[in-house]
Amino acid sequence: MSNLRLFNQYDWDGITVADLGIAKYVSLKPVVFPHSFGRQAKRQFGKLDVNIVERLINKLMRGGTGQKLSGKVIRTHGGLQGKKTRAICVVEEAFAIISKREKKNPIQVLISAIENSAPREDVTRVQFGGVFYQVSVDVAPSRRLDMALRNITLATIMQSFAKKKTMADALADELILAAKADVNSYAIKKRDETERIAAGAR
């Protein structure tokens, strides 16, 4: 299995997850084409067995961000929702850009981006005597992974929406910035914002 390469280009050997909290939940099962055809969809916690690159692809297939940009709510009608092959092509192109610019394995860049952008604290609402309060809580490892992937893909959609920048370019830029823990990364900003709100709710 170790001779398998992602998109027949990128080695799975030597990929490491430094964050031990999420290491158990990051699937690095070697695949060539990251498409499991929904085999794990109906099984509880089945997504933990889905390759991490495919989980990134699945997060890209969404109908926009629901956030406003220049007064308009971003709704990517006719975008990537339901079009997994197109989403795979976007990720493959983004990985090629990363490999060319950074001279690194893009799978490792993705892992580093996830580790840096995964928040460790969040807030939840609790009720005491009829009054709701926000309380700081630790984030479960699987949710940390989901939040990091969601913020990375949200940044991709927002940076390429109604702009000349393609989704592949936007995804490559976001992954490179997040892997370097650059404050210009949207995912890093969201992580800092989430942890700052949680710190104020302690």
Assign 3-class secondary structure to 61-83. CCCCCCCEECCEECCCCCCCCCC
**What is the Cα Rg of the chain in Å?**
17
Say what the pLDDT of residue 117 is.
Answer: 93
Residues in the chain: 202
Say what the pLDDT of residue 106 is.
Answer: 93
Query: How far is it, in rounded angstroms, from Cα 149 to Cα 168?
Result: 15
Say what the pLDDT of residue 3 is.
Answer: 78
Per-residue pLDDT tens over the stretch 169-182: 999 999 999 999 99
Per-residue pLDDT tens over the stretch 109-152: 999 999 999 999 998 888 888 888 888 889 999 999 999 999 99
Query: How far is it, in rounded angstroms, from Cα 150 to Cα 48?
Result: 16
End-to-end, the C-alpha distance of the chain in Å comes to: 47
Say what the pLDDT of residue 71 is.
Answer: 56
Per-residue pLDDT tens over the stretch 184-197: 999 999 999 999 99
Residue type, 92: E
Q: Which domains does the chain have, with CATH numbers?
A: 5-200 (1.10.455.10)
Q: Widest CA span of the chain, in angstroms?
A: 60
- pLDDT interval class at 1 (50, 70, 90): very low
- Whole-structure pTM value: 0.86
- pLDDT interval class at 56 (50, 70, 90): very high
Alpha carbon separation from 109 to 58, 130, 133, 151 (Å, rounded):
18, 47, 38, 16
Q: Rounded to the nearest 5 degrees, what angle is found at the Cα of 27, between the Cα atoms of 144 and 168? A: 75
Beta-bridge partner residues of 68: 73
* Share of residues in the chain with pLDDT > 90 (%): 38
